[in-house]
A = this chain, B = another copy of it.
């Protein structure tokens, strides 16, 4: 039992809502705003803010478009986002199950 340094946990990911977003985007090819909103059970404002934070960190990317005359934002995890999420999972796993 050696390393428990909390600073090694990625704080961009380690927030309830962002952890959930990343977990979903890690397993789907692409997800739009409404899908995520329902999936993780978030309010609009919150989701919007946290998606932006993940996007600023380049962990996810978005494309905005119109489908059936309605605005739709599609999100997907980036390569570095997936890498970060994997690291996060490993780090947390090593912290947690001993």
Residues on A facing B (Cβ under 8 Å)? 1, 4-7, 9, 11, 14-17, 19-20, 23-24, 26-28, 39-42, 89, 92, 95-98
Chain A binding surface, main DSSP class: helix
Given contacts A14-B14, A14-B16, A89-B96, contact A24 B4 (CB under 8 A): yes
Specify which chain B residues have a CB less than 8 angstroms from the CB of A39 in the assembled complex: 4
Please give, as numbers and ranges, the residues of chain B lying within 8 Å of A5 by CB-CB distance.
20, 40-41
- What residues on B are CB-neighbors of A1 within 8 Å? 27-28
Q: What residues on B are CB-neighbors of A14 within 8 Å? A: 14-16, 19
Contact status A6-B42, CB under 8 Å? yes
Collect the chain B residues with CB atoms within 8 Å of residue A42's CB: 6
When A27-B1, A96-B89, A97-B89 are in contact, do A20 and B6 touch as well, CB less than 8 Å?
Answer: yes
User: A9's contact among B6, B19, B96, by CB below 8 Å, is which?
Assistant: B19
CA distance A83 to B56 in the complex (A): 36
